[in-house]
Structure 1
Amino acid sequence: MSNEHPPTIDPIAAARWHAAAPAHSPWLHEEVARRMDDRLQWIRQAPGAWCHWDAVRGGLRGHALVGARYPQALCQVVETSAHCLPVAIQALGRPWWSPARWTAARPRFGLPPEGSVQMLWANMALHMASDPQGLLAQWHRALAVDGYLMFSCLGPDTAKELHAVYAELGWPPAGHAFTDMHDWGDMLVQAGFAEPVMDMERIRLTFATPQRLLDELAELGCNLHPQRFPALRGRNWRQRLHEVLQDKLADPAHDGQLGLTFEIIYGHAFKPKPRVRVSASSAVSLEDMRSMLRESGTRVNS
């Protein structure tokens, strides 16, 4: 694993996708959010404040589930794509006449102050990030000490059937490679998190037609591999793709519908108390020093 970003992700293509991804919550994202919300039942301490990172793409119904679980917790909504922010405000902002304004905390929009939230929720975002280490560092800064990260993303077995078809035909890769859950665990530790817990499951979806399959994939993401097809392929290529998908992916167990595997990775990790590395000369940031003093009960002056 590269120390900068996964070697099969084109950062320019990733930035273009991030700026143009459909401003709504795909069905698969909502389903994964529902399953990730189930995992919150094992968390004993309810957060006083939590952050939903890229809520529109991550799942607005998933947001409602977490909000219902922690109705009194302050929610900070971060939208890193400008075109998704008005959608989030429209969907999650409460008008003055709404009864919910008086029974639950109103969401705030924008980056949370450093160390201000006890939970950061990020659903189905990491696998499309060209700099996942940088993103993990942002999440680490937003969390308070003893706060925790809950995230999900796609794993390496995702669309393995499609990758096999492309390889058999001698075509360029069907998509960029997704990171293994063990590598995510290592990256969490490198980012300063502690006690990472990783698990995964596979979800098999079926599609009635090749076009339906391709439409669903286009909603979920795009091919960020640097060696992907460099230009448009034309109608004949698209027709050939449809024929091959119908032939290779038809599942007799599901009346000939086209089957595709999605590997879902779930991750959970805590932000531990900062530690000072002992050496001849040690440097401690002001924020870390304040955090350590607060933990020791010493008053900190600004």
Structure 2
Amino acid sequence: MPHQLPPTIDPVAAQRWHAAAPAESPWLHEEVARRMQERLDWIVKPPQHWCHWEPVRGGMQAHALLRERYPQASCTVYEAVASHRDVAEERLGHRWWQPARWKSAGVQIAEPGQASADMLWANMQLHMAADPQALIERWHGTLKVDGYVMFSCLGPDTVRQLHRLYAELGWAPAGHAFTDMHDWGDMLVHAGFAEPVMDMEHITLTFATPERLLKELRELGRNLHPDRFAGLRGRGWKQGLEQAIAERWSDRQADGQFALTFEIVYGHAYKPQPKVRLESSSSVSLQDMRAMLRQPRNTGLR
């Protein structure tokens, strides 16, 4: 296969994982969401309405933190998978008899409307999307003018120790390649966002055994690389992998623990006032026209 730029994702496998992923938030997702939530301290104007994009995998505890931060803001929770939507209804939606319904703004589990949200929150989603540009453009359409997106995802340095081991053993890739944060910034601008702010950090987790390390990875996702091993692998192969980790792991701690690196990318960008390029024939959406009419005219006076 010719060289591919990240993300190198099999779209069919990505869709299958999206539909089959457990309806729970992995520990790492919750920790990343907690850290991303702290970045909201930089935002001066709180949202009146925000959209939580797929919180069942992205962070149910984080949803509670966001509700505490913005108790008077209404929220639309979007879940594309039916089983995840049911969990969101059960755990995040307020019944009419619950006191929380009267103490704070409401939560609805629904498809977000066009230009309906002041903030869109998407934690640990983009790196598993086969067409992340289309997903970013969808987020852009969900936001109002001057609204903003807050997202996080995995970066290229993620599980580098496992990739190194697979390469040494001559195996197919251990996972698909993750997108660099600078490329995410370019994709945000291409989708119509402005002033993207990107940053990253490394989180290192340690595990006492190869079995626990692999269990953590299975909770986080699957190998979606098009060149991954095509057939089913049995118990013997798994035992061989565990033995290879025990004997050849490149990053062992002084106490014998197995270290595994995750690169976390954080992104933030605003949806600016729409700009129309005038040509002999120009088309403007009704939503953009309304936004432009609300924009104050520049009279040239200071």
User: What CA distance in whole angstroms lies between the structure 1 residues aligned with 2:249 and 2:80?
Assistant: 36
User: What CA distance in whole angstroms lies between the structure 2 residues aligned with 1:217 and 1:252?
Assistant: 18
User: What CA distance in whole angstroms lies between the structure 2 residues aligned with 1:97 and 1:64?
Assistant: 19
Match of 2:134 in 1: 134
Alignment of 1:262-281 (within 5 A): 262-281=262-281
> Is residue 2:88 matched to residue 1:88?
yes
Match of 1:287 in 2: 287
Please tell me whether the aligned partners of residues 250 and 257 of structure 1 are also in contact (alpha carbons under 8 angstroms): no
More off after superposition, 117-126 vs 272-281 = 272-281
Normalised by the length of structure 2, the TM-score is: 0.94
In structure 2, give the amino acid aligned to 1:30.
E
Match of 2:241 in 1: 241
Please tell me whether the aligned partners of residues 115 and 142 of structure 1 are also in contact (alpha carbons under 8 angstroms): yes
User: What CA distance in whole angstroms lies between the structure 1 residues aligned with 2:186 and 2:163?
Assistant: 26
Please tell me whether the aligned partners of residues 77 and 109 of structure 1 are also in contact (alpha carbons under 8 angstroms): yes
User: What CA distance in whole angstroms lies between the structure 1 residues aligned with 2:241 and 2:296?
Assistant: 63
> Is residue 2:107 matched to residue 1:107?
yes
Match of 2:55 in 1: 55
Q: What is the CA distance between 1:117 and its match in structure 2?
A: 0.7
More off after superposition, 106-115 vs 120-129 = 106-115
User: What CA distance in whole angstroms lies between the structure 1 residues aligned with 2:34 and 2:249?
Assistant: 28
Q: Which runs of 5+ in 2 are unaligned?
A: 298-302
User: What CA distance in whole angstroms lies between the structure 1 residues aligned with 2:182 and 2:136?
Assistant: 15
Q: What is the CA distance between 1:203 and its match in structure 2?
A: 0.2
Give the secondary structure class of the aligned counterpart of 1:253.
coil
Match of 1:70 in 2: 70
Alignment of 1:1-302 (within 5 A): 6=6, 8-249=8-249, 252-296=252-296
User: What CA distance in whole angstroms lies between the structure 2 residues aligned with 1:253 and 1:174?
Assistant: 22
More off after superposition, 241-250 vs 137-146 = 241-250
In structure 1, give the amino acid aligned to 2:253.
A
Deviations 1:76-120, CA, capped at 9 Å, x for gaps: 000011110011111111223322111101201111111111000
User: What CA distance in whole angstroms lies between the structure 1 residues aligned with 2:257 and 2:48?
Assistant: 46
Please tell me whether the aligned partners of residues 76 and 112 of structure 2 are also in contact (alpha carbons under 8 angstroms): yes
Please tell me whether the aligned partners of residues 157 and 262 of structure 1 are also in contact (alpha carbons under 8 angstroms): yes
Using the aligned pairs only, state the percent identity. Answer: 65
Please tell me whether the aligned partners of residues 250 and 256 of structure 1 are also in contact (alpha carbons under 8 angstroms): no
Please tell me whether the aligned partners of residues 7 and 178 of structure 2 are also in contact (alpha carbons under 8 angstroms): no
User: What CA distance in whole angstroms lies between the structure 2 residues aligned with 1:251 and 1:124?
Assistant: 25
Aligned residue-pair number: 294
Q: Which runs of 5+ in 1 are unaligned?
A: 298-302
Please tell me whether the aligned partners of residues 198 and 268 of structure 2 are also in contact (alpha carbons under 8 angstroms): yes
Deviations 1:263-302, CA, capped at 9 Å, x for gaps: 00000000000001133332212221122112249xxxxx
More off after superposition, 112-121 vs 243-252 = 243-252
In structure 2, give the amino acid aligned to 1:82.
A
User: What CA distance in whole angstroms lies between the structure 1 residues aligned with 2:234 and 2:70?
Assistant: 50
Deviations 1:40-67, CA, capped at 9 Å, x for gaps: 0110000000000001000000001111
Give the secondary structure class of the aligned counterpart of 1:245.
helix
In structure 2, give the amino acid aligned to 1:143.
L
User: What CA distance in whole angstroms lies between the structure 2 residues aligned with 1:244 and 1:10?
Assistant: 27
More off after superposition, 242-251 vs 212-221 = 242-251
In structure 2, give the amino acid aligned to 1:270.
Y
User: What CA distance in whole angstroms lies between the structure 2 residues aligned with 1:237 and 1:143?
Assistant: 47
Please tell me whether the aligned partners of residues 166 and 172 of structure 1 are also in contact (alpha carbons under 8 angstroms): yes
